[in-house]
Every structure is written in structure tokens, then in C-alpha cells.
Amino acid sequence: MVAPFVHPNHACCKKCSVFVSAEIKKRVAIGALRVWGKVERDDLPYLVLPLTVELSKPRLCFDA
């Protein structure tokens, strides 16, 4: 079995942490994202893609 691989988020996400948190909560609420479990308690999914923020809009993007 291959170990999970987690890519780090882009550095700009730290500057926009309030926006990123709000967008993630909104997307979970509408079903666009799914919660897999608690961080550091449950197994990671196979691949975790990083996030980035397009600062000129602003919008949350997957940085695949």
C-alpha cells in the first residue's frame, strides 16, 4: 500500500486564513467538500491537494 501524500498549501493562504476558513466551511455546508475525519486522529486520504488563493478576485483554488 502506498502511503498518503500531503502537499502543503501555498504561502498566500496564511495571509488570507479568515477567508480560506470561511470558504471551506461554506463548501462543506453545500456539499462541495467532504470532511474525512479529525486531523491527526483518522487516516489520511490517499492524496491531499494544496490550496491557493487568487488574491485579485479573491477566490479559493485547488493548486493541483
Percent of the chain with pLDDT over 70: 94
DSSP 1-47: -PPPEEPPPPTHHHHTHHHHHHHHHHHHHHTSS-----TTTSPPPSE
- Across the range 1-13, mean pLDDT stands at 74
User: Cα–Cα distance between 45 and 6 in angstroms, integer?
Assistant: 9
pTM above 0.75, yes or no: no
Q: For position 1, what pLDDT does the model report? A: 56
Whether 51 shows a pLDDT value over 90: the answer reads no
Q: What is the reported pLDDT for 28?
A: 93
Write out pLDDT tens, residues 17-46. Answer: 899 899 999 999 999 988 888 777 877 777
31: left (phi over 0), alpha (psi -120 to 50) or beta: left
